[in-house]
Amino acid sequence: MDQTLSRSAWVRVWRRTALVIGASSLLSLVVSEVIMLALSRGMDLPGAVASMLLPVILGGPAVFYMQLRSAQLAEANRKLEALAATDWLTDCLNRRAFTTKVDVALGSANADGNALLVIDADHFKTINDRFGHHRGDEVLQLIAEAIRANVRDGDLVGRLGGEEFGVFMHGANDIVAMHVGERIRKAINALFVRSEGIAQRLSVSIGGATFEGSIGFAELFRVADQRLYEAKRRGRNRVLTDDSPDLPQAASA
């Protein structure tokens, strides 16, 4: 038995095998009875049992094998899709998968609004220069873990490129966005990168945008990115998610 299949997948394999074999046995019984009635007075009990057992004995292994291979193929396809959508370093969604999922979510209006946070590591070039690119990769992994640990269930987390991450929250207003952003910022600011007796505290700057109605990812990202730039300009290690008139009001009509 292929242990790479999940428990639910094995349940589906056995259930489908049982359904196919059960239907085949019933059909075999009906057909055999019709034939025997045409030739004589019908089947006796041993004949009925034999007509139902033959599909199980002859077809059972073949049906089980086909269902198993089908489940293995479906699982392999699922893993390939997940791999294609995942950033290799941080295990977050990659940019393409993140933007696609956000655009789909934004396509349906939500009375409670939507929020996008754009998160950028502060002084990341200094970290790479000071500690090396290998430690820089470890920092990105630490940041990604801290982000995932401090968002809500169902929120989307993606790596947008380099040291920049995105968090999309469906059904979130500015208060929720600010709360989640601050939680992420504080969690990351409690982390350090260390090497050969040198330590540097990590920090991120976060820009957020919220909007009620239907809007595309590109426009929401533009506003969040502007606020990220402003957070950097004001000294970094801060969250900026104030309401902005820059969002296209016509899109909510």
Return the active site residues: 163
Q: How many residues in the chain?
A: 253
d(CA 203, CA 134): 18
Q: Which H helix or E strand runs over 221?
A: helix 217-233
Q: Which H helix or E strand runs over 78?
A: helix 60-84
Q: Return the bridge partners of 156, or none.
A: 168
Per residue, what are the HEC states of 6-42? Answer: CHHHHHHHHHHHHHHHHHHHHHHHHHHHHHHHHHCCC
3-state secondary structure of 177: helix
How, if at all, do strands 164-170 and 114-121 pair? antiparallel
Q: Which residues contact 149 (CB under 8 A, 6 or more apart)?
A: 187
Show the DSSP H helices in 85-202 as ranges. 95-106, 124-131, 133-149, 174-189
Q: Which of 66, 64, 74 is nearest to 18 (CA)?
A: 64
How, if at all, do strands 198-201 and 164-170 pair? unpaired
Cβ-contact 207, 228 below 8 angstroms: yes
- Locus of tokens 């999922």: 101
